[in-house]
Every structure is written in C-alpha cells, then in structure tokens.
Structure 1
Amino acid sequence: MRSQFERRDFLKLAGLGGAVLASGLGPWGRAMAAAGQDFSFVQMTDTHWGFEGPPNPEAHNTLRKAVAAVNSLDHQPDFIMFTGDLTHAASDDKERQRRMEEFKSIVGELKVKDVRFIPGENDAGLDNGEMYKHIFGDGFYSFDHKGVHFVALDNVSDPNGLIGEKQLEWLHADLAKFDKSAPVVVFAHRPLFDLYPQWDWATKDGAKAIDILTPYQNTTVFFGHIHQEHHEMTGKIAHHAAESLIFPFPLAGSQPKRTPVPWDAAHPFKGLGYNAVAEHAGTGKPTTHPLA
C-alpha cells in the first residue's frame, strides 16, 4: 500500500464488513508496509442469525451470501472477526443454542480458518454470556498478528451494559506490556463512546476504556451494533463501525424510535455489501463487492 491514500480510503466498512490492509490504519501501518508486513482482515457484524420477518425477507440467505462473497475474494484475508450479534436473541434456551450452533456451522464454510468472535447483546444478554462462552469461547481476549496487538472486548454480557472493572483491569494490564507507540486494534460490539445513548448506542463505562487506550498513540477501534457505517474520533483514536448483515438502522436521532430501515424491493440488498482493500500492483485501490 502507498501513503498517498488517506485513512478514510482504507476504512470504508460496509454491510459484510471491510477487508482492511493494516498499512491503511495510520502511520504505524505505513511503517509496517515499508517492512513488508502488509496484511488484511475482514470484519463482519450483526448477522442476527435466526431473525425472521420484515424488513429482510432474505434473512435465511444473507449470511450464506456473505460467506460466499468473502470466499470469492481474490486475496483472502489473514483472519476474520465477527463483532457481535452473531445470532438473534431467543428466550428459549434450546432455540438459542440451535441458532448459535447453526451460525457456527455456516461460517465454518469460510475458506479462512482463523475466524474469531465477540458477543453482542443478542448473544449474551440473557445469561451473562454463559451459553456464548460454552459455544464460542471467552468474550474478551487479545492476540498478536504481524506486529499488531489486537484486543477483543466484551461490552454486552454485563446486564448493566458495562465492560466492568475486572475486564478494565485486564485491559490495562494487557496493554501495559507494550510501548505507547505500539499499534493497537480494538474490537467491540457497542461503541465505546456515547454515539446515541437514547438508542443504547454507547457503553456506560466506555470512557474508562478510552482513557486506558488514549496513551497508546496508534489505536483503532472497530465496532458494530448500530447497523450502519460510522467513523468517529476520540482524541487520536479512530472508531469505525461496519453495517449489519441483516438490515440497516436509520441515522441516530433521525426518527423517534430505533426501527429498521424498510426493505427496498427495487434494491433488495441496499446497505448490505462490503469494500475490500487489496494490493493491486502496489496501487492499493479499493474494490467494492455488493452482496446482490
């Protein structure tokens, strides 16, 4: 990738997620590019497997279309991250388990086998994440990949909508091992900042997480939950949301209630798609991949 492309050119996340070359994530990314450390990952979010009815009559097909679309990428990403609401909530435990296991089976068809997850409130809100952890593993963790430290946070399992002091202490200790110039990428379901608390588009103690992250000079956060593309800065931290795989939500505050955008039969997958960024002969030109 080349530095003449701005950050926004690389971080156009959309419905299926965005394949993001690390060298597009800021100065540290360009340094990695110079060292030959380019890599890509795909973010997918808010698949809501098990959802039925309006506004998506194609609910049974959308996730499979997403899997097929990512499998068709010429350049397969290094890994894939699902940022929560993997399934649509169900009050019956057996149905909830069935949805989780079916979701896991479908995404098992991805060519990329390094597939990671964090929960959304639909996955974890009914039982503090117990069933989610049984099927998918820990809700928060960290890992390293080609010189970048990745952190996955759980800001949905707590019934009060908190990350919680225990996890915040873990985050502080996890990052303390790194220099303040180290590249850090964070995944969360809800936004860490107060985007629109009236619609639950916030994390009640997210400001504490941002305070922990702020000393790290090269930090980027990817989240879901709001079912639309969004870009925000808190100080030097860039936050980027991907659209949903099931239906879009309207812009924050644009209507009294948070209700899904109606299905457009003339444009049946409007708002569902993804932008992939791959290196084409050193140009780094983004390529758009609609779901339809």
Structure 2
Amino acid sequence: MDNEMNRRKFLRLAGLGGVIYASGLSGWAAAADAGAAAEDFFFVQLSDSHWGFEGAPNPDARGTLKKAVATVNSLEQLPDFIVFTGDLTHTTDDPKERWQRLAEFKDIVSALRVKTVYFMPGEHDAALDNGAAYQEFFGKTHYTFDHKGVHFIVLDNVSDPAAKIGDEQLAWLAADLQRLPPDARIVVFAHRPLFDLYPQWDWATRDGAKAVELLMPHANVTVFYGHIHQENHHMTGHIAHHSAKSLIFPLPAPGSQPKRTPLPWDDAHPYQGLGVRTVRSEPRNAEYAITELAIGAVKS
C-alpha cells in the first residue's frame, strides 16, 4: 500500500465523522512479513482530565475521570497498556494545591485494572514549575519504551512555558531515531500538536517542525496527542497525527469562533464531546484502528 493510498484511506475515513478511524501505515505489513518482531495489540489513550477543574461547563467535573476509569475497567478485553497524554490536572498558581491535585489524580487512576500505565505532562501540570511536581509523582517527562515490535517515544512540549521541545530534547530525539532502521514502527505521544494547527489558540509547538523533520526519514510513524479537547486528524507528509477528546470539556473547532472557550454542557446529551479511545495496532494489516468510547455510559 503506497503513501497516496494511505492518504486517501485516511481522508475518507476521517471524513465520515463516525466512531472508528484508521490510517494506513505503509511498510508495516512488509516489515512484519520480512521477519520483524511485530504482534497485534491495543492500548487506551486518555487525555486532558484536568483534575481540580470546577464549575461550568461540566457539572460532573469531579466524576468524569472516575467514570473514565470505570469505562476502561469494563472493557471485555483489557488493553496492553494505558497512556495519559497530558493535562492530568488543572493549572493552579499554588504549589501546594498543584501537588494535592496530582496526588488525588494518581490515587483515582490507581483503580485502573491495567498494570502498565504511562503518563506525560500537559502545560497545566508542568509549565509553571518546569515539571518539578509532576516528576515527583510520575518521573521523567520524556522517555521511550518498546512494545511488541513498536518503538514508542514520549515527547515533552509543555514543561518549557514557551511551548517548545527545546534543543536538548531534540538532540535526544535525534540520537534515539538514529539507532532505528528506516522502516521501524514508531508511535509518538505528545501533548500539544507537533504541527501548526492553530497557533493563535496555542495549538502548536514552536519547534514542532524540527521534531517532524527528524521523524520524516522513517516510513512508519504515527503521532497521538491531546491538548485541543476534540478529535482532529492531520497528515504531515506520510505521518498521521490524531488528537484525543478531553475528559473534562470539549473545545471548538480551530478558528470556528472568536475565542477558545469551552463548548456548553448539553443536558439532553450529557458528556457529549468527551471520551476515551482505544487504539489497535495491526501491523500485518498495515493500519491502526481507533475507536472512541463515550464517557457516562458506565457509572462509577
């Protein structure tokens, strides 16, 4: 399956506006057939829980995260792992309150039945103290791990209040990628988008293009991120970027209104625009399948 076929498939599925999306990754099937270690698996992505937020537009602000945990725990088959792509907590100027919110968040998600859970900060967690409190609870803000033939890279584009990855981390990324073959299967997690989705609303990473440039020589790269509180699917060349819904409130489509204000709560459709997603890696079929799970269907 060539890149143009992948692009058309991605655009067709994304345009449906439905529940399941897939983006073809050229070379996955060929690499698997050539003997690369690869197995089907799936993981769960949660993002932007903003624990500590109170008030409109979510009257269940203290219940939504717990419902998300219940939703994941109710899955018939548990995922291989879970990843939280940032903004675990809502920002606060009080260091003690920041520490307390992180502690409460960690306690709530400890109820997850999945043993392996990966975390990364959002700007609400880390921008005011360069990630100091976050690291006390969850460790490094950027790192890598490998799972069933896939190399995962967690980037930190939030600890720097200027919304940059930074030269030191970019050098670390370059060194990590240099040791991988061109057909390596790579998944990148970031909080902010790595491309300029809508910089006027802080929906960009100032040096994100440098990270994308480093990733470009690799044929099989997919990026998952949060921050914008809605689904968005974008291609930079052959690299697919998928954003996740929030667990606290949805935000408007980029540039669709003058200000980046949360969408109002709809009593007729509670939890609309919020959700959890599962991502199934199927290297022999050369695709990722993404399923969005609504919040509120499972009571905590």
TM-score range, shorter chain: 0.7 to 0.9
CA distance in 2, matches of 1:125, 1:285: 32
2:121 aligned residue: 119
Amino acid paired to 2:165: I
> Per-residue displacement from partner, 1:21-50 (whole Å, max 9, x unpaired)?
xx9762454457777710001111000001
1:285 is displaced (CA, Å) by 8.9
Percent identity over the alignment? 59
Decide whether the 8 Å contact of 2:46 with 2:276 is kept in 1.
no
Alignment partner of 2:197 out of 189, 195, 198: 195
Give me the CA root mean square deviation: 3.0
CA 1:65/1:32 → structure 2, altered by over 3 Å: closer, same or farther?
farther
Alignment partner of 1:267 out of 260, 266, 269: 269
Decide whether the 8 Å contact of 1:125 with 1:157 is kept in 2.
yes
Alignment partner of 1:149 out of 145, 148, 151: 151
CA distance in 2, matches of 1:24, 1:74: 24
1:231 aligned residue: 233
CA distance in 2, matches of 1:165, 1:286: 32
Decide whether the 8 Å contact of 2:69 with 2:112 is kept in 1.
yes
CA distance in 2, matches of 1:285, 1:195: 23
1:68 aligned residue: 70
1:75 is displaced (CA, Å) by 1.4
Decide whether the 8 Å contact of 2:43 with 2:280 is kept in 1.
no
Asked if 1:291 is matched to 2:285, the reply is no
Alignment partner of 1:251 out of 250, 253, 256: 253
CA distance in 2, matches of 1:269, 1:33: 40
The secondary structure found in structure 2 opposite 1:54 is coil
1:290 is displaced (CA, Å) by 2.4
CA distance in 2, matches of 1:90, 1:266: 32
> Per-residue displacement from partner, 1:96-154 (whole Å, max 9, x unpaired)?
10100110111111111100011100000111111111111000000111111000000
1:278 is displaced (CA, Å) by 6.5
Q: What are the ranges of 5 or more consecutive residues in structure 2 without an aligned counterpart?
A: 1-8
CA distance in 1, matches of 2:12, 2:146: 25
CA distance in 2, matches of 1:285, 1:155: 26
Asked if 1:58 is matched to 2:57, the reply is no
Decide whether the 8 Å contact of 2:193 with 2:225 is kept in 1.
yes
CA 1:274/1:123 → structure 2, altered by over 3 Å: closer, same or farther?
closer
1:26 aligned residue: 25
1:3 aligned residue: none
CA distance in 2, matches of 1:19, 1:109: 27
> Per-residue displacement from partner, 1:146-176 (whole Å, max 9, x unpaired)?
1110000000001211100000000000111
CA 1:219/1:201 → structure 2, altered by over 3 Å: closer, same or farther?
same
Alignment partner of 1:133 out of 135, 156, 171: 135
1:273 is displaced (CA, Å) by 2.6
Alignment partner of 1:77 out of 57, 76, 79: 79
Number of residue pairs aligned between Structure 1 and Structure 2? 282
Decide whether the 8 Å contact of 2:45 with 2:277 is kept in 1.
no
CA distance in 2, matches of 1:46, 1:61: 14
Amino acid paired to 2:157: N
TM-score (ref. length: structure 1): 0.88
CA distance in 2, matches of 1:92, 1:183: 41
1:94 is displaced (CA, Å) by 1.1
Amino acid paired to 1:213: L
Alignment partner of 2:218 out of 192, 216, 223: 216
**Runs of 4 or more consecutive aligned structure 1 residues displaced over 6 Å after TM superposition:** 8-12, 32-36, 283-287
